[in-house]
A = this chain, B = another copy of it.
Amino acid sequence: MTALPSSAVAALLPALKFERDGLVAAVAQQHDTGEVLMLAWMSLEAVDQTLATGEVTYYSRSRQKLWRKGETSGQTQRLVELRVDCDGDAILLLVDQTGAACHTGTRSCFFRAVRGGKLERIAEAIADPKTLYGAEA
């Protein structure tokens, strides 16, 4: 896990600014529909593994370790394209999402919206978290 970064990530390095916690914010967007699925965090190793394997890997701040999306749930994200923003502290991942991106079972984590001055649920679960993660979820 401490191997030298792959060539693709080496080309990226000068453009990336990891914050003081060593992470950049990463937005995942379904490549064909444009739906924004989730926002998570990537370390250098997460970027490296994502580019090397084509399977999106994040860094879990709560568990403090790399987290290949879908490794438990099967709801993987295949990388289609990785983009970097102007100041290098945010990444846009165009992905092909299998099933539900959200741990709650909804397709997108952004399933609540402010409407009429209230926060409303605007999307239902498409998968049962208990099925995705087992009984402890």
Contact = CB atoms under 8 A, between A and B. Distances in A.
Copies in the complex: 2
A104 B81 contact: no
Nearest to A7: B117
Contacts of A119: 11-12, 15, 84
A131 interface: no
Contacts of A85: 38-39, 102, 109-110, 112
B86 A104 contact: yes
A92 to B, nearest CB: 4
A33 interface: yes
A82 interface: yes
Nearest to A94: B113
Contacts of A84: 110, 112-114, 119
A111 interface: yes
Interface in A1-26: 7-8, 11-12, 15, 25
Given A7-B117, A15-B112, A83-B112, 6 more contacts: A25-B39, A27-B27, A34-B35, A84-B114, A85-B102, A86-B109
